[in-house]
Copies of this chain bind each other. A is one copy, B any other.
């Protein structure tokens, strides 16, 4: 008797079906700033545009709702989530709390392989800094932090990170730019990695605090500068 299949384990990312694809397209549209915050997401419209029926769209929308990108108003439909300044504070507060812990765990689990991955990612960050491609820069930045969460080895923590990141990506995407000096952001990752390699919990926390806190203040400032969001079209 062979085991036919391991029916349950963990997430097992839905990549197969339409729902996953619709969700990705929707996420993309939201993060890239089409579908501005506050705008209504008409199921039939999305469905027609993607050449599918409403059912997959609804399920995808529910997914993005749980992820925090959409807000559902019963009998009224889904709307693209709007962020206020205190949302930024909530996200960064939680992110800081989690990433501190993740970094400490990562240090505990660090192997030569994972250490190299982190180092290489910092190199990538420097290379990307020359490209003048803010979106790419943000992406590679997240990849570094995500690596830390991966190495930490707590799958739920990683998922939480992904959720927070997708919210942040949306906000930052709307701001358009992030840092004035992309090389600076690349540099501020180095002491974090150094602390993780050294394995000093206190130093790790301190540098993570500094690094994330820096981004927090920066994003917070930018958000407060452009308070009335890009206009909730339609």
Q: In the complex, are the beta carbons of B82 and A8 less than 8 A apart?
A: yes
Q: Report chain B residues within 8 Å CB of A178.
A: none
Q: Is the CB of A74 within 8 A of B17?
A: yes
Having A93-B101, A93-B157, one finds 15 other A-B pairs with CB under 8 Å, namely A7-B73, A7-B76, A7-B79, A8-B37, A8-B71, A12-B73, A14-B74, A55-B55, A62-B63, A90-B155, A94-B98, A94-B156, A97-B101, A97-B157, A98-B98
Chain B min CB distance to A201 (Å)? 13
Q: Which residues of A are in contact with B by a Cβ distance under 8 Å?
A: 5, 7-12, 14-17, 19, 37-38, 40, 55, 58-59, 62-63, 66-68, 71-76, 79-82, 90-91, 93-94, 97-98, 101, 105, 154-157, 160, 164
Query: What chain B residues lie within 8 Å of A63 (beta carbons)?
Result: 62, 66
